[in-house]
Chains A and B, each alone.
Chain A
Amino acid sequence: MTTLAYLIPVALFLGALGLSGFLWALRSGQYEDLDGAAERILIEPDARDNEGGRSN
């Protein structure tokens, strides 16, 4: 039972880490253009001579 003393905090910490990661991604605009993100992966980086900065 003593293992619980650190396993539970570890479990909660990992969960909270995932949650904060998600909230960060949400805030930084990663979910603004889901359709575009799916297509952009097919675009070769060197084919785009002018890589646009994030605009949102």
Chain B
Amino acid sequence: MSCCAPGAEMALEVTAAASASPSSDEIRLASRALGSDIHQTDLSVPTVHCGACIQAIEAALGTVENVESARVNLSTKRVSIRWHGDSVPPFFAVLGSLGYQAHLFDPEIHEKDRTLSELIRAVAVAGFAAGNIMLLSVSVWSGAEGATRDLFHWLSALIAIPALAFAGGFYFRSAANALRHGRMNMDVPIVVGVSLAYAMSLYETINHGEHAYFDASVSLLFFLLIGRTLDHVMRERARMAVSSLSRLAARGAVVLREGSTREYVPVAELTPGMRLLIAAGERIPVDGDILGGNSDLDCSIVSGESVPKAVGAGAHVQAGTLNLTGPLTMQATAAAKDSFLAEMVRLMEAAEGGRSRYRRIADRVSALYAPVVHLAAFMTFLGWMVASGDWHRAVTIAIAVLIITCPCALGLAVPIVQVVAARRLFEAGVMVKDGSAMERLAAIDTAVFDKTGTLTLGRPKLVNASSIDPTMLAIAADIAAHSRHPFSRAITGYAGYSGQPGVESVSEHPGFGVEAITAGNTWRLGRRGWAGWKARTGGEGKLGGYGGTVLSKNGNIVACFAFEDALRQDAKATIQQLKAAGISVDILSGDTAKACGEVAKSLGTESFVPALLPSGKVEWIESLARAGHKVLMVGDGLNDTPALRAAHVSMAPATAADIGRQAADFVFLRESLLAVPLALDVSRKAGRLIRQNIAIAIVYNAFAVPIAILGHVTPLIAAIAMSASSLIVIANAMRLQATAKAAPEAAPARRRTDVIEAAHP
């Protein structure tokens, strides 16, 4: 066990489901062949977080047979393993014994980030050019004259060409794209300013002029590219962190062919009519009907129901549900593309979210800013033409107006604040997908929560342990250790596995419970009707019959267990903080009215809507939106995904379904729900700073523009003014880091619970 694997800062509560290691067929399917019998497998290991982890993992994997090499990437929390031979080395067992949870992921979706390396290359080229041109410009400003000045200008012009062509490409493309669609963005005035500055400077250089603005046009690009790169890094980091979490969809399934041969087939190639074998702990890959076997299914991620459902032959099962206790044989009734998961994706795509209508602050400002600036420059030109009749002078001064108003500070005003805010949230375990998400979050007035998995952990907890005889509890825990039913896990989680030698020949009866035989006694842990067969209570012997969970000895009930779905940490404090911030809170759930009512009551809120279908949640949110509300949706299940998309802005816990995490704007990694009010708080603060920054940029222009219009701007003044305004804006953004640090830490952990199943005492 490494020093830091469990309970590490970013450690996720990984459910029983995710901890089931993929089969070697599945690993092979996810591997890349590198030629000459060498394969590379990429694993995501979210709990890697220090040098000792790197050392432990690389040393342990390096000694495994057939492993060529293993390398940990700490930034992306991934391990790349190269191996050869026919059998897949036991990576998961080795990592598991070290205490690390690992997951497979698709190498295709982790293509190297080309945009980032292009941006960094552009920053490097622009920085090189800006530095050298600035050196030459300083010489000119300090008094170089005549031929020397011309030489320096020519050199500057030469150095600026690659910078503009290569580094400026991002802005030229973006501006062209905006103009083609009849829109205006911040890049349009930047492109106009930079290219006019270059063209005028070139003209001046050819005519042995005194002033050239090569330094202004290149250092402007340099500054702006830094802002853009930081913005990209922020989003990329969030994207990586989100997609490196465990994948929940099944990758393939074992198909029973004619003549009882078995074959592992990728999900995409499953067709209706195939017979599939689903082992305990696997997810159902496609919709289908059960042909044989009994088991319990965890449907929480699909429907929001918190209690596992007992299924047997003839039952219909949906893709995405988790088979908990017994092996099942099922017949596929739909291909993967027609299954429940795909239906959710379609619903999600159909939901026109608030985000598509939302226009970012920077775009709204630039839509006003650019015409005003260009008009001012044009008026300056006309004014000087009328006043002096000297067209060269008029053009020079008009271009100087454009250069000095070029929105350097404005271009940085928004991204810098958002990068600082995202960094602050990242440290608190909240991933932000992009800057517009924070702008949208700052505007919300209604928060809508899903229940199972969001307000609650979707994982039952034993609550009446104090009233159970400790010896009975110990026996129950030893029996329960053989099962992966959530209730069994709750019992072992509470009492621990004591390893008493007496308990042997344990067998699981899916849908009923676990049976163990010790020294001639038959112990049963499970449904009341099945375990306590001597105390007839009704519903016994029937699959999924009612009654609490009990422990029985030879048919006599000796202990009863009550379970509650534990509320997520700080759920009540979260609701209170949101209400204090003026946000109205609703609960939308697919679960029963009783379960929802109890959660709502213990959270101190009245407003809940139970038993909603996925489309019902979307309709609810859309009707709120039509009433003029800006809605935040917080949810984790597959059934929440369309609603996450439909809402103005959305948040999901890290344990959410894959497509849920992809659809959400924010993903929080820690268990505490306080991430929601924290994200709201930081977003609102960021919103204030953004407005301040824009105000600063406008004030700067109010001073600089008259000077430029009067024709007093020289390249030196332009360089000083533009750098100063940028630095002020950056310094203002940094205040967010300072105020956020001063904010009080999260309240001490407290858990409340809601009763989902109570047995008789």
Do A40 and B54 touch (CB < 8 A)?
Answer: yes
Is B97 an interface position by the 8 A CB rule? Answer: no
Q: 0/1 per residue, B69-90, Cβ < 8 Å to A?
A: 1111111100010100000000
List chain B residues, Cβ under 8 A from A47: 55, 59
Q: 0/1 per residue, A1-25, Cβ < 8 Å to B?
A: 1001000100110011011001100
A48-B55, A49-B59, A55-B80 known; A32+B71 contact, CB < 8 A: no
- A50: contacting residue among B58, B73, B131, CB under 8 A: B58
Of chain B, the residue at the smallest CB distance from A21 is: B124
A23-B121, A35-B74 known; A8+B155 contact, CB < 8 A: yes
- A52: contacting residue among B71, B151, B159, CB under 8 A: B71
List chain A residues, Cβ under 8 A from B68: 53
- The smallest beta-carbon distance between A36 and chain B, in angstroms, is 3
List chain B residues, Cβ under 8 A from A52: 58, 62, 69-71
Do A49 and B125 touch (CB < 8 A)?
Answer: no
Of chain A, the residue at the smallest CB distance from B60 is: A50
Q: Give A33 to B630 CA distance when docked, in angstroms.
A: 39
Do B54 and A39 touch (CB < 8 A)?
Answer: yes
8 Å CB contacts to A: which residues of B150-199?
Answer: 151, 155, 159
List chain B residues, Cβ under 8 A from A33: 73-76
Q: Give A3 to B651 CA distance when docked, in angstroms.
A: 63
Q: 0/1 per residue, B129-151, Cβ < 8 Å to A?
A: 00110010000000000001001
Do B120 and A26 touch (CB < 8 A)?
Answer: yes
- The smallest beta-carbon distance between A22 and chain B, in angstroms, is 5
Do B74 and A19 touch (CB < 8 A)?
Answer: no
List chain B residues, Cβ under 8 A from A54: 71
Of chain A, the residue at the smallest CB distance from B68 is: A53
- B74: contacting residue among A15, A31, A36, A42, CB under 8 A: A36
Q: Give A22 to B125 CA distance when docked, in angstroms.
A: 10
- The smallest beta-carbon distance between A29 and chain B, in angstroms, is 9
Number of interface residues of B (CB under 8 A): 33
Q: Give A53 to B58 CA distance when docked, in angstroms.
A: 11
- The smallest beta-carbon distance between B402 and chain A, in angstroms, is 29
Q: Give A35 to B54 CA distance when docked, in angstroms.
A: 11
Q: 0/1 per residue, B38-64, Cβ < 8 Å to A?
A: 001000000000110011001100110
Do B63 and A39 touch (CB < 8 A)?
Answer: no
List chain A residues, Cβ under 8 A from B58: 48, 50, 52
Q: Give A55 to B50 CA distance when docked, in angstroms.
A: 19
Do B120 and A15 touch (CB < 8 A)?
Answer: no
Tally of contacts, chain A with chain B, CB under 8 A: 84
Do B63 and A49 touch (CB < 8 A)?
Answer: yes
List chain B residues, Cβ under 8 A from A39: 50-51, 54, 74
Of chain B, the residue at the smallest CB distance from A1 is: B148
Q: Is the interface of B mostly helix, strand, loop or mixed?
A: helix
Do A11 and B135 touch (CB < 8 A)?
Answer: yes
Do A43 and B69 touch (CB < 8 A)?
Answer: no
List chain B residues, Cβ under 8 A from A43: 51, 54-55
List chain B residues, Cβ under 8 A from A32: 73, 75
Do A50 and B74 touch (CB < 8 A)?
Answer: no
- The smallest beta-carbon distance between A14 and chain B, in angstroms, is 10
- The smallest beta-carbon distance between B129 and chain A, in angstroms, is 9
List chain B residues, Cβ under 8 A from A19: 124-125, 128
- The smallest beta-carbon distance between B58 and chain A, in angstroms, is 5
Q: Give A48 to B51 CA distance when docked, in angstroms.
A: 12
Do A50 and B59 touch (CB < 8 A)?
Answer: yes
Q: Give A55 to B83 CA distance when docked, in angstroms.
A: 12
Q: Give A12 to B55 CA distance when docked, in angstroms.
A: 43
Is B522 an interface position by the 8 A CB rule? Answer: no
A11-B132, A40-B51 known; A53+B73 contact, CB < 8 A: no
- The smallest beta-carbon distance between B146 and chain A, in angstroms, is 10
List chain B residues, Cβ under 8 A from A55: 40, 69-71, 80, 82
Is B507 an interface position by the 8 A CB rule? Answer: no
Is B117 an interface position by the 8 A CB rule? Answer: yes
- The smallest beta-carbon distance between A51 and chain B, in angstroms, is 8
A49-B59, A52-B62, A54-B71 known; A15+B80 contact, CB < 8 A: no
Of chain A, the residue at the smallest CB distance from B51 is: A39
List chain A residues, Cβ under 8 A from B117: 26-27
- B69: contacting residue among A1, A26, A53, CB under 8 A: A53
List chain A residues, Cβ under 8 A from B73: 32-33, 36, 56
List chain B residues, Cβ under 8 A from A50: 58-59, 62-63, 69-70
List chain B residues, Cβ under 8 A from A15: 128, 131-132
List chain A residues, Cβ under 8 A from B51: 39-40, 42-43
Do A36 and B54 touch (CB < 8 A)?
Answer: yes
Q: Give A27 to B120 CA distance when docked, in angstroms.
A: 11
Of chain A, the residue at the smallest CB distance from B50 is: A39
Q: Give A23 to B71 CA distance when docked, in angstroms.
A: 24
- The smallest beta-carbon distance between A20 and chain B, in angstroms, is 10
- The smallest beta-carbon distance between B64 and chain A, in angstroms, is 10
List chain B residues, Cβ under 8 A from A8: 155
List chain A residues, Cβ under 8 A from B124: 19, 22-23, 26
- The smallest beta-carbon distance between B69 and chain A, in angstroms, is 4
Do A26 and B132 touch (CB < 8 A)?
Answer: no
Of chain A, the residue at the smallest CB distance from B151 is: A4
- The smallest beta-carbon distance between A34 and chain B, in angstroms, is 6
Q: Give A26 to B121 CA distance when docked, in angstroms.
A: 8
List chain A residues, Cβ under 8 A from B159: 12
Of chain B, the residue at the smallest CB distance from A34 is: B75
- The smallest beta-carbon distance between A3 and chain B, in angstroms, is 12
- A56: contacting residue among B59, B80, B131, B132, CB under 8 A: B80
Given contacts A33-B76, A50-B63, 12 further A-B contacts (CB under 8 A): A11-B135, A19-B125, A31-B120, A40-B51, A47-B59, A48-B58, A48-B62, A49-B62, A50-B62, A52-B62, A52-B71, A55-B82
List chain B positions with a Cβ less than 8 A from chain A: 40, 50-51, 54-55, 58-59, 62-63, 68-76, 80, 82, 117, 120-121, 124-125, 128, 131-132, 135, 148, 151, 155, 159
Query: Can you name 18 A-B pairs with beta carbons within 8 Å?
Result: A15-B132, A16-B128, A19-B124, A19-B128, A31-B120, A32-B73, A36-B75, A39-B50, A39-B54, A42-B51, A48-B58, A48-B59, A49-B63, A50-B69, A54-B71, A55-B40, A55-B69, A56-B80
The 3 closest A-B pairs by CB, nearest first: A50-B62, A39-B51, A36-B74
List chain A positions with a Cβ less than 8 A from chain B: 1, 4, 8, 11-12, 15-16, 18-19, 22-23, 26-27, 31-36, 39-40, 42-43, 47-50, 52-56
